[in-house]
Structure 1
Amino acid sequence: MSDATHTGKRWIQHWDPEDTELWENGGKKIATRNLWFSIFAEHIGFSIWTLWSVLVLFMGPEYGLSPADKFLLVSTPSLVGAILRIPYTLAVAKFGGRNWTIISAGMLLAPTILAAIVMEPGTPLWVFMLIAAIGGVGGGNFASSMTNINSFFPERLKGAALGLNAGGGNLGVAAIQIVGLIVISTAGASAPQIIFYIYLPLIVVAMTGAALFMDNIADVKKEGNAMREVLTDKHSYVMSFLYIGTFGSFIGYSFAFGLVLQNQFDRSPLQAAQVTFIGALLGSVIRPVGGWLADKLGGAKVTLWTFLGMAVGTVLCIVASNADSLPLFMTGFIGLFVFSGIGNGSTYKMIPAIFRTKALAAVAEGESKETAMPRARRLSGALIGIAGAVGALGGLFINLAFRSAFTSTGSGVPAFVAFLVFYGLCFATTWAVYLRGPIVRTAEEKKAALAGAGI
């Protein structure tokens, strides 16, 4: 496990985290170091991606934007971030995990600087939307970070590692909302530029940390066109659908929470800012718990109960909206964040477990472990990127649903009813595909699943 190679001193030529001897003799230390610096860079990426969920709270009447305009504005980076997750996943194989972390972190400078320039009354909506679209680059960071970290850790630790990586990144949403709250409550709603002064140096720190302390893995390649190969597997579509329900909910509600409070309960920008970070904070912190529970109980079981919890939270939001009860609404909405956070961790644990199950079955049928296990890691990395991209589109759908509901009825209830139906479909799909019977039908595959793949 030397990093002295012809491709550069930060490249690791041979990496097999399932090799216990390698793992204990330095591998764990290397993987953990890469994990922490990946978390920080992804954390800043999430902050910039959700920057506009905070900036809209600074946009008073003098900006001339309607509630529908603001929902459209926060939907824009959600859409772009979702689209970018596919090429960001491929970029890890093309450039190396460390190298791409440096590049992708550096790209965050552009939307931050541009937002600082245009953030003032009189700027046309299309300009705001253009800068918000550029801010979508922060959403792509998640896919490349998760794909990279997936390669560093052994199967038995993937749930916790991916949960920490994703949870630490998701905390970027709560962090920038807390920064926004501090700025509004101290400097007032006319000083959003302070946010940019805080985050520009942090972006530089993320780039520097990745350059000095992260590594590339030479074995991470696009062999066999993993992205195309994984699209032939039915589980790619099922897991992407489920991830719309978990991560799509988390990011969509993160963008929309403040605006919903302002429009449903007539909260002021400061009043909205005082609570919007709570949901994102809890949903982020609990995400590693979802991965840990999936390691212990199985990802499908945890995911199933997650969707039931989200359905209950949605019902509370509907009842509270009709009764004009802010405390009950807050309970339901924060419950949605918490359960979506748990589901984020458990669904991502399911992805590598599914392909490990299939790899073990292939080994039982005569394929060599040296070819089956790396293929499983490649395919799981590819699906992590695809599911991340499709799941992020859920954030777009949620904000468009709220926009339509408030425009047509003045209430978010129709949107919540649609979400409730969708969570019911996710619950039924999880049970039918992963819990009603084995996901694979041959005797060897069934033995592999029972041996502890953890699906």
Structure 2
Amino acid sequence: MARRERGWIRDWEPENPHFWESRGKQIARRNLLWSIAAEHLGFTVWTVWSIVAVKLGAYRFSTDQLFWIVALPNLVGSVLRIPYTFAPARFGGRNWTVVSALLLLVPTGLLSVAVSDPRTPFWAFLVIAATAGLGGGNFASSMANITHFYPQSRQGLALGWNAAGGNIGVSSVQFVVPLVISALGLGAAGLFWIPFILASAAGAWLFMDNLTSATSPFRQQVKVAGAGQTWIMSLLYIGTFGSYIGYSTAFPVLTKTQFPSVAVTSFAFAGPLLGSLVRPIGGRLADRFGGARITAWTFCGMGAALAGVWSGLHLGSFPMFLVAFLVLFGMTGLGNGSTYRMIPAIFVARAVRIAEKSGSPAAVEDAPLRGRREGAAAIGIISAVGALGGFFVNRSFGTSVQATGGAGAALLGFGAFYIVCAGLTWWCYLRTIGSRVLPNFATARV
């Protein structure tokens, strides 16, 4: 049985079937629930400027300036994901969830300051919007923590639900904030979330747990930065999650500039919601068929959807543009789930292979736990680099619109990148012929 001492659980054995069925899964589900609540609010705060930006007409910012405002939180959030990943192993998953939730009070309070005075300069908006990046860091710490609670066979679905619950925060903010602004004014777009933030911090403190088995020295954690698999998966995650968060924050501004007569705030939430809801499906499909196979097909689907988006813009057809973008959001959601399922599988397989080469029975026995710890650390680096895609998507749209008046150049670049990602997935994780450069993981059920 798991022993709980002052918020810390010892003797955690999720791979033990008897332990898991008798007590483990109930504890894991409780931690997953409150992790989702805190992460949901993190995404809400992280992306709140995607809606606020389209309501800043009184400030007369250019399209490129608006894309800068929605891009900076993505940049800051991606950088913060690296220290946030290591925090649960250093301070405990429950403890860090409480701290990271309370930090969200900073950007929500400052948002009301920024919009309270019509004389607020552009540089002040950039600084204040950048603090919303605090919400972006929550994802990395949450995922790195939850991966320790579940057995390998349930990683895809558990991580999928955890991530989906957070991702839905994007659609929540894009659905709720227009209503809040209409009823209470622009300043309430941030203040509205404060009671929910306090409630999630209290719930995490009362009902979550720290795992002693998840603690790991910092030096041991950062070793994964030298693993080639960390950077391959980082690139793939730029293509999936980077696309999801980038399109989520760029879509309202892009639609407003390309289809001015459309009331974008009435349906902007639909795409992020779809992408969030299908993320667990991507994880479940990865559990059954292998994450690499689902990821490769996802990149192909994303490329096809981009062609539909381009056609809608070229023909001036908003219905075609919207439907294609919804398909694109759905593909990013599937890819988010499948790529995250690949990470723990890759690092467990990697740790086992290294241990087997050493010839030490003790090393082979400890390899799965070591692989789980390395995978949790890799999640932070991968999610940080992947989130940079959100910044690049917004800046690509802004630059394309400013230089050419349209988004075609940006879409062409995205399509070329997806082709590269699909090829890389096949080369590293699906082909059956061994590689002298990188080990092949096709037989490891990646």
* Shift, 1:3, TM fit: 4.0
- 2:307 maps to 315
The residue type equivalent to 1:65 in the other structure is F
Unaligned 5+ residue runs, structure 2? none
Name the Cα RMSD after superposition: 1.9
Q: Deviations over 1:44-100 (max 9, x none)?
A: 00000001101112111x212111110001111100000000000011111100000
Contact 1:226 1:378 in 2 (8 A): no
Q: Percent identity?
A: 45
* Shift, 1:370, TM fit: 4.0
The residue type equivalent to 1:32 in the other structure is R
Q: Which moved more, 1:28-37 or 1:18-27?
A: 18-27
- 1:297 maps to 289
- 1:182 maps to 179
Instruction: Quote the Cα distance in structure 2 between the aligned partners of 1:80 and 1:313.
Output: 29
The residue type equivalent to 2:287 in the other structure is D
- 1:141 maps to 138
Q: Deviations over 1:320-342 (max 9, x none)?
A: 11111111111111111100000
Instruction: Quote the Cα distance in structure 1 between the aligned partners of 2:261 and 2:41.
Output: 28
Match for 1:211 among 194, 205, 208? 205
Contact 1:357 1:449 in 2 (8 A): no
* 1:52-451 equivalence runs, <5 A: 52-60=49-57, 62-120=58-116, 121-183=118-180, 186-187=182-183, 191-223=185-217, 225-267=219-261, 271-362=263-354, 364=356, 365-368=359-362, 369-437=364-432, 450=443
The residue type equivalent to 2:98 in the other structure is I
TM-score normalized with structure 1 length: 0.93
* Shift, 1:440, TM fit: 7.8
Contact 1:49 1:136 in 2 (8 A): yes
Q: Deviations over 1:164-201 (max 9, x none)?
A: 000100000000000023235x43xx812333342110
* Shift, 1:223, TM fit: 3.6
Instruction: Quote the Cα distance in structure 1 between the aligned partners of 2:352 and 2:278.
Output: 31
Residues 334 and 165 (structure 1), Cα distance of their counterparts in 2 relative to 1, 3 Å cut? same
Match for 1:30 among 17, 27, 30? 27
Residues 397 and 439 (structure 1), Cα distance of their counterparts in 2 relative to 1, 3 Å cut? farther
TM-score normalized with structure 2 length: 0.95
Instruction: Quote the Cα distance in structure 1 between the aligned partners of 2:338 and 2:55.
Output: 36
Contact 1:156 1:295 in 2 (8 A): yes
**Which secondary structure state, in structure 1, belongs to the residue aligned with residue 269 of structure 2?**
helix
Instruction: Quote the Cα distance in structure 2 between the aligned partners of 1:433 and 1:50.
Output: 33
The residue type equivalent to 1:129 in the other structure is L
Instruction: Quote the Cα distance in structure 1 between the aligned partners of 2:218 and 2:141.
Output: 19
Residues 104 and 438 (structure 1), Cα distance of their counterparts in 2 relative to 1, 3 Å cut? farther
* Shift, 1:439, TM fit: 7.1
Q: Deviations over 1:423-455 (max 9, x none)?
A: 1111111111111126788xxx98x964xx421
The residue type equivalent to 1:255 in the other structure is T
- 1:454 maps to 445
Instruction: Quote the Cα distance in structure 2 between the aligned partners of 1:118 and 1:340.
Output: 32
Contact 2:348 2:370 in 1 (8 A): no
